[in-house]
Amino acid sequence: MTARSHYVGRWRVDLDRRAARRLVPDTRLARVVAAALEVAGAPRPASMGLILTDDAALAELNTAHFGVTGPTDVLSFPLLPPSAFPPHSGRAAEVVPDASAVRDVPRFALPPGRRPYLGDVVVSVERAIAQADAGHGGQTGDVAWSPADELRLLVVHGVLHVCGWDHSDPAERDAMRALERRLLGQ
């Protein structure tokens, strides 16, 4: 297990590796997180956590926080409401705040030199490998690519959730998938 902070521009990514397999270098994962935060319009400077672990840990978190039995590939734990981020493509009209609402998100004073913490993304490296090896990757379950590509996608997906993106609405889901592909250079 290793934990380390990585600085990319005005972002700090606190990366905690609990999984044995190293599919993507830490610095590359930090750049993936920073790119997703940037395009999502996250407040900056800021920091967030990325935890790479296994199915057992995701199953435990899934049950404890979402009441769902069994593992999943990625979970996000945002600390700010979706209204703290700019409106984005596909977002249901009833949840798009007006400009004053975004500015009026409660802020709290931080000690000098401290960055606001946006939340955590927890990814099962074990699940990323299994999905990629079975050709069931890409969030649609039909993409055959490397475990490293699947891990990068899961990280981007989780960061977008921290930044207020969702995929329950078809229009927002399609916009989210398109943004994920763009961020992954596809």
CATH of residue 128's domain is 3.40.390.30
Residue ranges making up the domain that contains 123: 2-183
Tens digit of each residue's pLDDT (9 = 90 or more) over 76-88: 999 998 888 888 7
pLDDT in tens, 27-62: 999 999 999 999 999 988 999 999 999 999 999 999
Number of structural domains (the chain) is 1
- What average pLDDT does range 130-145 have in this prediction? 80
Reduced 3-state DSSP string for the chain: CEEEEEEECCEEEEEEECCCCCCCCHHHHHHHHHHHHHHHCCCCCEEEEEEEECHHHHHHHHHHHHCCCCCCCEEEEECCCHHHCCCCCCCCHHHCCCHHHHHCCCCCCCCCCCCCEEEEEEEEHHHHHHHHHCCCECCCCCECCCHHHHHHHHHHHHHHHHCCCCCCCHHHHHHHHHHHHHHCCC
Round the average pLDDT of the chain to a whole number and report it: 86
**Please, which pLDDT band fits residue 19 given cuts at 50, 70 and 90?**
confident
pLDDT of residue 103: 43
Tens digit of pLDDT for each residue in 116-136?
899 999 999 999 999 998 887
